[in-house]
Amino acid sequence: MNIKGYHLGSGEPVICVAVTETSTDAIIEKIKFLTEFGAQAIEWRVDYFDGQQEVAAVCEILEAVSTYVKQTIFLTTYRTRAEGGQGDLDTEAYEALIVAMAENGVADFVDVELDSSADAQALFARVHEAGGKVIASHHDFEKTPATVDMISMMSDMYELGADVAKLAVMPQSFSDVVAVLDATVVVHQSYPNQPKITISMGKLGAITRLLGESVGSCLTFGTVGRASAPGQMEYKNVARALDSIHVCLSEE
């Protein structure tokens, strides 16, 4: 999948920076700064926004940053508290916001939590009808599911119509970290042309944020300022590590 000159699905993973500012001015200024910084991708975490209850206020910010993100992959995410975020919208309001962000057209991808809708397939279809692309996601900040369950979950995301499948889970042992890598490889073999994002969170799983090119995960996160999830590393350190791994993998 080619987006703004980046190919998602092979080669070096794209590095994404999350924006977690709370006010309109701070959000716009941070996104502008990150594009000037050279971030490859930006995720706006709408659940941190003070005005998240007002769809119009969200869309006004999207319009305000549209000129800044023309060359930068741009994701919009409303992460619910059930999956580690700050969002408290009920299901109806959540779905309305998701569709509105897709209709707005500024975001390249809209994150949609697999379990936050009674009918994920219908919500994915509504996003597509609005002209958007879906990152279907599932986050577990307590544990790592069994490998077979992670494979099944990501496969279901694709079968329900997701453009990208994202899974982020918390390891309790290094075996859990290996399980995430194993699941990613299996899903990548089954769906080689569909982008996927997999993360084992926390310090224990930090290595998974660097091994995407080896196992098939197309995007990782780096920090420029505060982190939005446990285990994220500073952007420039991630970039150096990914470049080194890419050179090694490219050598004959």
138 is catalytic: no
Q: How many helical (H) and strand (E) elements, i.e. helices and strands, does the chain have? A: 8, 11
Instruction: Count other Cβ atoms within 10 Å, centred on residue 55.
Output: 17
- Do the Cβ atoms of 117 and 76 come closer than 8 Å? no
Torsion from C-alpha of 223, 226, 231, 235, nearest 10 degrees: 10
166 is catalytic: yes
Q: What is the CA radius of gyration of the chain?
A: 17
**Catalytic residue selected from 30, 133, 138, 166:** 166
Helix or strand or coil: residue 140? strand
Torsion from C-alpha of 241, 11, 13, 61, nearest 10 degrees: 140
**Catalytic residue selected from 30, 133, 138, 139:** 139
Distance CA 90, CA 156 (A): 24
Using CB atoms within 10 Å of the CB of residue 155, give its burial: 0 to 12 exposed, 13 to 18 middle, 19+ buried: middle
Tokens of 234: 């500073």
Catalytic residues: 139, 166
